[in-house]
Structure 1
Amino acid sequence: MAPYLYIAPCILLMGLFVYYPIVENFRFAFYEFSAFAPDKVFVGFENFLALFQDEVFYIALKNNIWYAIISIVCQVFGGLVLAAILEDPLTRLFSGFFRTAFFLPVIISITVIALLFSFVYNPDIGILNSFLRLLGLEEWTRAWLGESETAIFAVIAVSQWQSIGYIMMLFIVAIQSIPQELYEAADIDGANKFYKFLHITVPQVKEMLFVATLITLTGAFTVFNEPYILTSGGPGNASEVLGTLLYKSAFFRDEMGYASAIATIILLLSLAVAIFQMKLFKTGKED
């Protein structure tokens, strides 16, 4: 019984703070109720049917998908390339500085970052529009957070800037564990850097690639802070994501059952993505 006694506190805490809320949220999705009233009315699948008929839900889902696609390209593949460059013998002398520079945004408060980028995106005095005017590209200037065509992409860009350093550090740890004999053998065979990256680095960090992709995609479907602080889902519903839609449904419209249905959909999407990745990467299995 000793091993089970050691893990019992962990199981108890996980059950109390993770699995019990998940089960309760799933149950609440079949009720219509207010946070300020004790009574709950069983409505079956009506919350889900209403959700699938809501145009804003599809806008939010589309924005989350954009979040996922751009995050995979910028954070995962961009982070892997950055890690490979910083671990190259030619750049290792300066890698400490660049590691710090890229990782620093990760530890900055999202409120501070949102305030910073609200100045960057300011249509009149913002750095971005001022830089475009300096280059003679005034026709490219926009009210980046105020136009429906650019708002969600401006928000996504903030997330990439903040998170790429974290993914980069994960890949740096993985690259440092690769046996140097593999690179030395490739040098003897006359392989160039691109070949070594493609045929040695990428296969050797497959497990970390799975972890980084899972973290990134799960974060893309559960994102809340950046869209809410920067745009609150606006203008209109242009930058709405599932997280902000859930928050507004629960705490603005007091539709707790409807919000629970949204949370259930987010959970199912995250689980589907995780299972698909496990099948795709065949993680934990020997080649």
Structure 2
Amino acid sequence: MLALFVYMPLIQNLVYSFQEFSMLSGKRSFIGLDNYKMLFSDPVIVTALINNVKYAVISVIFQVGFGLILAAVLEDEAFRKISPFFRTIYFIPVVISITVICLLFTFVYHPTDGLLNLFLEAIGLGSWAKPWLGSGSTAIYAVIAVSQWQSVGYCMMLFIVAIQKIPADLYEAAKIDGAGKIRSFFNVTLPQVKEMCFVTSVITITGAFMVFNEPFIMTKGGGPGTSSITIAVHMYQTGFFKDSMGYASTIAMLMFLITAVMAFAQTVFFRTGKGD
């Protein structure tokens, strides 16, 4: 099954990356490293990489960082009774289709009738209102914000599982030593969930470099212009809009290398999922 659905398509894509061919004509020709030379001189690739890096950095801060804080707060004794309710609330966006969420936030970001601009005007900050998805300076950040809203609950649940496995004796010992909640978080909780921090970071960063749905649906393929384009969107447009499947395969290889490096770092340096 792995050979049929993973390794064979990967090898086939590698072969395609050295070719030039069209899906319409079906004619293929070997061009060597020309696609890779084009990759390093493609200005859209640079923009896409920068956007993916922004995606990754912001996602680690909010999904991993804020997810950990939420998990620690909800697992605190003071919130134990209401914790199940808030866990459900924060996790609901995770199970909603990303397509539905993108369409929903398209209405939220509407320049005239959108909830966000109407809210800013209602609280006296009408000067901040703008076409969030129609401006090159804000489109990528508006798209990234949607991903954070949708995915923070997933990281939160992973951290909750990790926190629940921490022995209660450690917190009791910290309390006896006079440690407050904040100090207990940094001295007990954070060291104990260190591996989960890395696992969620790898998942988040890998997902950030493979993101496709959000920019494609919300900005009509990375607009305005290429200001919010990502590597996956550029690959799709190159292959199916420009009918340059060879170069699209080369972009796919770039995505594979980036995500493979993340997986390699997880496996080798942290040995995630292996026993002591």
TM-score range (shorter-chain normalised) is over 0.9
Q: Give the deviation of 1:92 after TM superposition.
A: 1.1
3-state SS of 1:222 partner:
coil
CA distance in 2: counterparts of 1:277 and 1:239, whole angstroms: 29
- The alignment status of 1:244 with 2:233, answered yes or no, reads yes
Q: Which residue of 2 aligns with 1:20?
A: 8
- The alignment status of 1:213 with 2:188, answered yes or no, reads no
- The alignment status of 1:260 with 2:249, answered yes or no, reads yes
The residue type equivalent to 2:147 in the other structure is S
Question: Any gaps of 5 or more consecutive residues in structure 1?
Answer: 1-12
Q: Which residue of 2 aligns with 1:166?
A: 154
Q: Give the deviation of 1:286 after TM superposition.
A: 9.1
1:86-165 matches, within 5 Å, as: 86-165=74-153
* Contact 2:199–2:272 (8 Å) recurs in 1: no
CA distance in 2: counterparts of 1:75 and 1:280, whole angstroms: 22
1:189-228 matches, within 5 Å, as: 189-228=177-216
- The ranges of structure 1 where at least 4 consecutive aligned residues each deviate by more than 2 angstroms after the TM superposition are 36-39, 272-287
CA distance in 2: counterparts of 1:89 and 1:127, whole angstroms: 36
Q: Give the deviation of 1:26 after TM superposition.
A: 1.1
The residue type equivalent to 1:246 in the other structure is M
3-state SS of 1:161 partner:
helix
More displaced 10-residue stretch of structure 1: 148-157 or 27-36 = 27-36
Q: Which residue of 2 aligns with 1:58?
A: 46
**What number of residue pairs does the alignment pair up?**
275
3-state SS of 2:79 partner:
coil
CA distance in 1: counterparts of 2:275 and 2:216, whole angstroms: 43
Q: Which residue of 2 aligns with 1:6?
A: none
Q: Which residue of 2 aligns with 1:7?
A: none
Q: Which residue of 2 aligns with 1:47?
A: 35
Q: Which residue of 1 aligns with 2:223?
A: 234
Question: Any gaps of 5 or more consecutive residues in structure 2?
Answer: none
Q: Which residue of 2 aligns with 1:9?
A: none
- The alignment status of 1:275 with 2:264, answered yes or no, reads yes
CA distance in 2: counterparts of 1:173 and 1:15, whole angstroms: 33
CA distances 1:70-93 after superposition (whole Å, capped 9, x unpaired): 000000111111000000000111
TM-score (norm 2): 0.95
CA distance in 1: counterparts of 2:73 and 2:7, whole angstroms: 41
CA distances 1:146-193 after superposition (whole Å, capped 9, x unpaired): 000000000000000000001100110111111111111111111111
Q: Give the deviation of 1:220 after TM superposition.
A: 0.2
CA distance in 2: counterparts of 1:85 and 1:58, whole angstroms: 39
CA distance in 2: counterparts of 1:168 and 1:84, whole angstroms: 9
CA distance in 1: counterparts of 2:26 and 2:133, whole angstroms: 40
CA distance in 1: counterparts of 2:11 and 2:65, whole angstroms: 35
Alpha carbon RMSD of aligned pairs, Å?
1.6
Q: Give the deviation of 1:128 after TM superposition.
A: 0.7
CA distances 1:195-227 after superposition (whole Å, capped 9, x unpaired): 111111111112222221111011000000111
TM-score (norm 1): 0.92
Q: Give the deviation of 1:275 after TM superposition.
A: 3.3
CA distance in 2: counterparts of 1:19 and 1:199, whole angstroms: 44
**Identical amino acids, percent of aligned pairs:** 55
The residue type equivalent to 2:247 in the other structure is Y
